[in-house]
Every structure is written in structure tokens, then in C-alpha cells.
């Protein structure tokens, strides 16, 4: 489980995340939705200890990230798919991470298989397409067999086959009982993957709901999403 308690982050005079309190449950995919600039990435960075909150806290399995003994074995994250050394192969990259996190080497071959990179595992990551880098990012997230997974806009830039692959993978991981928290600004795509939804705008919680509940209002999912977020969005779709 992920628990956010009054999580708050300010940058200068601007509040990027504003008193956010949410529980993200295991066993389902939870979509984390909001317009551009609404604070999704900042929230994820705070959960992962990459940014310090000004107020409140983020707990993973009841523990702050910085207090986890083996973070990679508790929470896997996909934040930035470009963050691989271009001269290193996928296998070398995963093997180094496994060794430094006390993860058995057998996990390397396992996650390479799961993400479909076994056949190209010795090629330099610098030669990978965006979709292959995304798969390598997912392999890193899965390496420690974590109970909690955090993915920031995982379908960005992927082709339809890649999108379907991510969708099936996330649903499978949730069905295994893991907590899967995935951010997006696209309600239609999120509705195909997620069961639960956390919707934010200007850093504040707008709704904690399910896809089914959101769709019962009579209008389309997209209309329901716009209705929720429009008070915090200007006519260009940019957060103001």
C-alpha cells in the first residue's frame, strides 16, 4: 500500500502538491490523473524520496522511502526512460543493479523474459528504440520483485502494441496482489487499464473514485473528467 498524508510541496511561491491525502490499495491498478502541471510527477518523486515534502509524508508499506533497507525490493518505479547509460547493455545494466541491491542474478534473466528483451539483452541500450527503452525501464522496476509499482506516464510515445503490452502487464501485476500506481493525463487510456482513480488538479485531490463510478453520470468518461478538472484548468488545458 502507498499512503500519502497531507503531502505538500512548494516551489518558490507556487504550491505544486497541496495537502494530498490518499491511500493506494494493493490488488488493483490505480490511475493517477490530472491535467499537465497538476503535481503528479512531483507526488511520485516524493514517494520515491527524490524530493522532500514541505509538509506531510509519503509511506510505502508503512515506511518512508528513505527508511527502506532495500528500496528496489519494496518499490519499483518507471520515471524517466532515457536514464540508461547508452554504452551498457540491458543485461549489464540489470546485473549491476541486482548485485548492488542483493537481488539474485536469476532475476535478471526472469525480468528480461517478462519484458521481451531476452534476444537483444546484450545490445547497447543506446541502440534501443523508445519502446525497447520503456521495456528496459519496466525490467528495472520489476527486478527486485517489489510489492509496489509506480509508473509515471508509461505509455508516452509508445505505439499501439507497446501500449497494449503495458496495459496487460500492469493488470497482471495487480492481479498478483501488487499495488500499481500509474500516472497519466489521458482518461480514455487510463480507463482501459485502471480500476480505481485518484484525480488531482493544482496539487489538490479532486476525486478518489472508480472508473465504473465515473462512467455512471450519463456523460462520457472524458466529459466527466473535464467536469472534475475544469475549475482548475484554463481554456488552453494548462494548469493555472
Ligand X SMILES: Nc1ncnc2c1ncn2[C@@H]1O[C@H](COP(=O)(O)OP(=O)(O)OP(=O)(O)O)[C@@H](O)[C@H]1O
Site for ligand X, rule CB under 6 A: 11, 14, 16, 34, 36-42, 185
Give CA–CA dist 122/114, Å, rounded: 16
Measured from the CB atom, the residue of 14 and 85 that comes closer to ligand X is: 14
β-pair partners for 209: 197
Measured from the CB atom, the residue of 38 and 89 that comes closer to ligand X is: 38
Give CA–CA dist 33/184, Å, rounded: 5
| Least distance from ligand X to the Cβ atom of residue 223, Å | 20
| Least distance from ligand X to the Cβ atom of residue 40, Å | 4
Measured from the CB atom, the residue of 120 and 198 that comes closer to ligand X is: 198
| Least distance from ligand X to the Cβ atom of residue 73, Å | 26
| Least distance from ligand X to the Cβ atom of residue 42, Å | 3
C-alpha cell at 128: 534501443
Measured from the CB atom, the residue of 14 and 113 that comes closer to ligand X is: 14
Number of Cβ within 10 Å of residue 20's Cβ equals 23
- 74 phi, psi to nearest 5 deg: -110, -45
Distance of CA 58 to the CA centre of its chain: 15
User: What's the half-sphere exposure (Cβ side, CA atoms, 13 Å) at 110?
Assistant: 11
Amino acid at each position: 500500500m502507498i499512503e500519502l498524508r497531507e503531502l505538500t510541496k512548494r516551489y518558490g511561491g507556487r504550491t505544486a502538491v497541496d495537502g494530498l491525502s490518499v491511500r493506494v490499495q494493493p490488488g488493483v491498478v490505480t490511475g493517477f490523473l490530472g491535467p499537465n502541471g497538476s503535481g503528479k510527477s512531483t507526488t511520485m518523486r516524493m514517494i520515491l524520496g527524490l524530493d522532500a515534502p514541505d509538509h506531510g509524508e509519503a509511506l510505502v508499506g508503512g515506511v518512508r522511502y528513505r527508511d527502506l533497507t532495500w528500496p528496489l525490493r519494496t518499490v519499483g518505479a518507471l520515471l524517466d526512460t532515457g536514464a540508461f547509460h547508452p554504452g551498457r547493455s540491458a543485461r549489464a545494466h540489470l546485473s549491476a543493479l541486482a548485485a548492488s541491491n542483493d537481488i539474485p542474478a536469476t532475476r535478471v534473466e526472469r525480468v528480461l523474459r517478462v519484458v521481451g528483451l531476452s534476444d537483444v539483452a546484450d545490445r547497447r541500450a543506446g541502440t534501443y528504440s523508445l519502446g525497447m527503452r520503456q521495456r528496459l525501464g519496466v525490467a528495472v522496476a520489476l527486478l527486485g520483485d517489489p510489492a509496489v509499482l509506480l509508473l509515471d506516464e508509461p505509455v508516452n510515445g509508445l505505439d499501439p502494441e507497446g501500449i497494449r503490452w503495458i496495459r496487460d502487464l500492469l493488470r497482471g501485476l495487480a492481479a498478483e496482489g501488487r499495488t500499481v500506481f500509474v500516472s497519466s493525463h489521458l482518461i480514455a487510456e487510463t480507463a482501459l487499464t485502471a480500476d480505481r482513480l485518484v484525480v488531482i488538479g493544482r496539487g489538490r485531490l479532486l476525486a478518489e473514485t472508480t472508473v465504473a463510478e465515473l462512467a455512471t453520470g450519463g456523460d462520457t468518461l472524458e466529459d466527466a473528467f473535464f467536469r472534475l478538472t475544469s475549475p482548475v484548468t484554463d481554456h488552453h488545458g494548462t494548469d493555472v
